[in-house]
Amino acid sequence: MSDAATRLCTHCGLCCNGVLFDLVRLQPQDSVQELTRLGMKLRRKKTQPWFPQPCQFLQSCACTIYEHRPTRCRLFECQQLKKLQAGQITEQDAVQMIANVKAKVAEIDSQLPLLAAEAEILSLDERVKAVTENHPRPELEELYQQLKRLLDREFRLLD
């Protein structure tokens, strides 16, 4: 990873903090024993172990088990990172995009005051659903849909 890419990720954390994803599934080559030893609280869906996001190992945008992180964490590169590494955008472009996303997340979070304490344990999607499931909030839902479209377009879509 280039210095610019490392700088970007260590100031971002969106793929670990419950904004881009709700969970991470382990792969066959991941060691459940080793990750459990490190303190990872794994859950199981059918037979495939997974862990929820926000990830318990994320601290200030850094992975505290970086050398031992699971396969999916090793392989994932968002579109901003890929474009930066391919020279298609500048570091400043990517930093600005991440700042835009974080501003939108903060705006959505400001409308979820009763779930502020849950931000450490529930993904953004789970928090929005918890509030809107039984009590429609059209403005909040529209804000969230806008964010999801931005994330799909600028972070998630594969080439």
Residue 4, CA atoms < 13 Å, CB-side half-sphere = 15
CA–CA dist 84, 35 (Å, integer): 31
Smallest distance, Å, CB 119 to ligand SF4? 16
CA distances from 136 to 131, 132, 133, 147 (A): 8, 5, 7, 18
Check residue 24 for interaction with ligand SF4 (CB under 6 A).
yes
Show contacts with ligand SF4 in window 73-102 (CB under 6 A): 73, 77-78, 80-81
Total residues at the site for ligand SF4 (CB under 6 A)?
21
Check residue 9 for interaction with ligand SF4 (CB under 6 A).
yes
DSSP 154: I
Choosing from 4, 23, 42, 58, the residue that interacts with ligand SF4 (CB under 6 A) is 58
From the centroid of its chain, how far is CA 58?
Answer: 10
Check residue 63 for interaction with ligand SF4 (CB under 6 A).
yes
Check residue 144 for interaction with ligand SF4 (CB under 6 A).
no
Q: Which residues bind ligand SF4 (CB under 6 A)?
A: 8-9, 12-16, 20, 24, 55, 57-58, 63, 65, 69, 73, 77-78, 80-81, 155
